[in-house]
Structure 1
């Protein structure tokens, strides 16, 4: 099909070249006609100059000029006649070229209608937010619905409801042979259609759904055109089943990916919770040991009568009791924690921050975990906000910056196009400036800046200009 198009386009280019040649000839004839007109004007001018000369010589000159003028007029008339004929022939040839061009354009349109866009890059560039065609609860429900639909497809094919064909075809005058041939061709056409449908299912990605639906529909149309003499067609009901199969397959894949992302986020949250719980236990264990130590010291100093040391021990025990109550309250209230604002200039550039939440005793532990091998540089901390309801605080910040989200599809990706100064303004607008324990506006980005300097030092020096 591509070779036919290339041949047609080459023929069009050839015809276009001929039209250009005719146009050039017409332009040349027009130029010659202009030259004759200029010569005639020159002769008229000379005639005027000679009007005062000798009468006899002048009369002879006039007769000569008139003969020349008549000759020029005859030549001009001949040129105009030839030009008109050439123009008429060129117009006829141009009309023929235009008719052929229109025919080829119509043919190209028909061919393009049969071509399905399947290039990955083009499909990805046009992909938007995936919209489910069938709303079901979860991936399990999609899988069950898909299996039920596949059973319906098998039943339709088994009961000869998948394809229709003529019943009065004869071969060598035999209706039986004709029916056998129609049946064999129908099976062949149905196998080709199912092969295309199965291939679309196997290679399905949610962003390919529209392309797959278009591809399968055009496959059905091609089969109808090829089987026109025997009236062979894929039945509308069977085609709808297979289209619905493609839709359910895409929905199932999208739901599986959505659930994987949700499970990944939940596991990450659980790991942070478990790590926070381990930190609470370690901190309580440390405080209990310190408490036991100061109790023994208090008892010793009380027995020895050292009142000053005993009073200091009681104050220390009160401080430890307060710390233990604080840890227990943190452990009991799962909404209490830290909201942090971090950036990674080397990985994401300026003007991008991540706003996250952790219940850990030390939020920097969570930040260090985020800067693992998944990013080339460590994160810089710009702000740490402690709040009794850190969950609500994080949600409010995310909502105020919703129009600045980097990833607007997966809302679990907490990156925003904003600067630390803009986050500080948002906190001030929310009346939470006093909740800030630390604030740094400029990212240190030591690893990134050092890497850039090393790269500049390693770059070969530019040669000095010649004297």
Structure 2
């Protein structure tokens, strides 16, 4: 696209150079005339002084008037020619500027890949069905000989049959060329070139019709419209397929996260049961020893041991109940608010949800080798219905998403105060948070701040 912008720019430079050169020539001619007039006046004065009246002043004046008149006429002609050329160049420059502006706007549109969806099917199957329908309509137009038509009945060597054969061949060639260009455009269409591909099809349609206008053969507007629709549906079908794939990735990721959570819960339950059995066996053994013991000191030690074992047994039973409860309550979990200043900058937060028994394990996973610095936790909210709180927060800050195309990326450009306010409002409505909500306002970002300090130190040492 840059070379397209370069052409009108070169045209503008050449046109302006021509105008400047013409004006310089005009100024030069005017200066020359002035010099000649001054020189003639000087000669007149010298002649008058030298010959003292021998030469007629009137005769010299007439000669000078003739020369001045000729020079004035010449100057006027140059001036008129310059004005005409200047006007013509100004018109060319205006046209080039309009073309340049159009190309610049076109490049901006292409660079941003702007395309407003025209169709709204729920799934990719709807687009696929419509694509097949459009292609079948194109085939039917070709069968009916309505894709390209000829308005004149030609005859070759007096034979209308030969003339029809020639016309059919021309139409076949025109359609083959048009279909080839359209197929290439459809195969290459992407988010950042759909406008270019649509213009390419339109221009091919116009060029081929112009080339074949001497034979009165042309591609029909209906066939062009179907090709444009095929291009648009192909693009939107690709976009819908991409969205569906991303949704499937999100579902699979949620399933993996839930499987991890369930494995953790099951492991915690099994560990709690083993602890419970171990403490129960130790307690039974201590009680038996107490019954057969002799002596106060020994009784006191066994009693203290039994109390300690009963306490640990109660904790093991509590952990077991917690694990069972966690497994039964599928919505129980934590909503976290984390940041990574070194990686994403200020006022960028990830709002996510985990059902793991140890929610910090999820945060540590997110801060692995895929990002240069670890995440800082601003809130870890225990919820009876974690998915509901997370969904509300995502919905409220939807327009503040950093990635507006992929909702799997849960990063939002928003202040922490806004998050705190919305969390409080949603909890007041849903009553989902299980404990008091606490937010840490300041991000420690230890590795990031140490890195900055080291860079400052290195820069200072270089200056020294």
> Normalized against structure 1, the TM-score is what?
0.77
Task: Specify which of 17, 22, 25 is matched with residue 19 of structure 1.
Answer: 22
Counterparts of 1:236 and 1:261, CA distance in 2: 38
Secondary structure of 2:381 counterpart: strand
Say whether 1:82 aligns with 2:71: yes
Counterparts of 2:425 and 2:111, CA distance in 1: 38
Is the contact made by 2:110 and 2:196 (CA closer than 8 Å) also made in structure 1?
A: no
Task: Specify which of 118, 127, 152 is matched with residue 113 of structure 2.
Answer: 127
The alpha carbon displacement at 1:299 in A equals 1.5
Counterparts of 1:254 and 1:266, CA distance in 2: 18
Counterparts of 1:68 and 1:268, CA distance in 2: 109
The alpha carbon displacement at 1:343 in A equals 1.8
Counterparts of 1:402 and 1:69, CA distance in 2: 95
Q: Relative to structure 1, is the Cα distance of residues 373 and 174 closer, same or farther in structure 2, using a 3 angstrom cutoff?
A: farther
Q: Relative to structure 1, is the Cα distance of residues 85 and 283 closer, same or farther in structure 2, using a 3 angstrom cutoff?
A: same
Counterpart in 2 of 1:327? 323
Counterparts of 1:196 and 1:408, CA distance in 2: 33
Query: What RMSD over aligned residues (CA atoms) do the two structures have, in Å?
Result: 4.3
Counterpart in 1 of 2:80? 91
Say whether 1:258 aligns with 2:231: no
The alpha carbon displacement at 1:452 in A equals 5.1
Q: Relative to structure 1, is the Cα distance of residues 126 and 313 closer, same or farther in structure 2, using a 3 angstrom cutoff?
A: same
Is the contact made by 1:424 and 1:433 (CA closer than 8 Å) also made in structure 2?
A: no
Higher mean C-alpha displacement, 451-460 vs 368-377: 451-460
Q: Relative to structure 1, is the Cα distance of residues 273 and 243 closer, same or farther in structure 2, using a 3 angstrom cutoff?
A: same
Task: Specify which of 355, 362, 366 is matched with residue 359 of structure 1.
Answer: 355
Is the contact made by 2:113 and 2:194 (CA closer than 8 Å) also made in structure 1?
A: no
Q: Relative to structure 1, is the Cα distance of residues 240 and 400 closer, same or farther in structure 2, using a 3 angstrom cutoff?
A: closer
Task: Specify which of 358, 366, 370 is matched with residue 374 of structure 1.
Answer: 370
Counterparts of 2:7 and 2:397, CA distance in 1: 55
Higher mean C-alpha displacement, 299-308 vs 336-345: 299-308
The alpha carbon displacement at 1:302 in A equals 2.3
Task: Specify which of 340, 363, 366 is matched with residue 336 of structure 2.
Answer: 340
Counterpart in 2 of 1:435? 436
Where structure 1 has 5 or more consecutive residues not aligned to the other structure, the ranges are 44-59
Say whether 1:137 aligns with 2:122: yes
Is the contact made by 2:397 and 2:412 (CA closer than 8 Å) also made in structure 1?
A: yes
Is the contact made by 1:29 and 1:83 (CA closer than 8 Å) also made in structure 2?
A: no
Counterparts of 2:12 and 2:442, CA distance in 1: 62
Secondary structure of 1:394 counterpart: helix
> Normalized against structure 2, the TM-score is what?
0.78
Task: Specify which of 379, 382, 407 is matched with residue 383 of structure 1.
Answer: 379
Q: Relative to structure 1, is the Cα distance of residues 412 and 70 closer, same or farther in structure 2, using a 3 angstrom cutoff?
A: farther
The alpha carbon displacement at 1:251 in A equals 1.3
Secondary structure of 1:435 counterpart: coil
Is the contact made by 2:22 and 2:82 (CA closer than 8 Å) also made in structure 1?
A: yes
Task: Specify which of 271, 275, 289 is matched with residue 304 of structure 1.
Answer: 289
Counterpart in 1 of 2:401? 405
Counterparts of 2:96 and 2:454, CA distance in 1: 61
Counterparts of 1:399 and 1:4, CA distance in 2: 48
Secondary structure of 1:291 counterpart: helix
Counterparts of 1:303 and 1:70, CA distance in 2: 155
Secondary structure of 1:439 counterpart: coil
Task: Specify which of 305, 313, 319 is matched with residue 317 of structure 1.
Answer: 313
The alpha carbon displacement at 1:290 in A equals 0.7
Secondary structure of 2:265 counterpart: helix
Counterparts of 1:223 and 1:111, CA distance in 2: 26
Counterparts of 1:180 and 1:31, CA distance in 2: 75
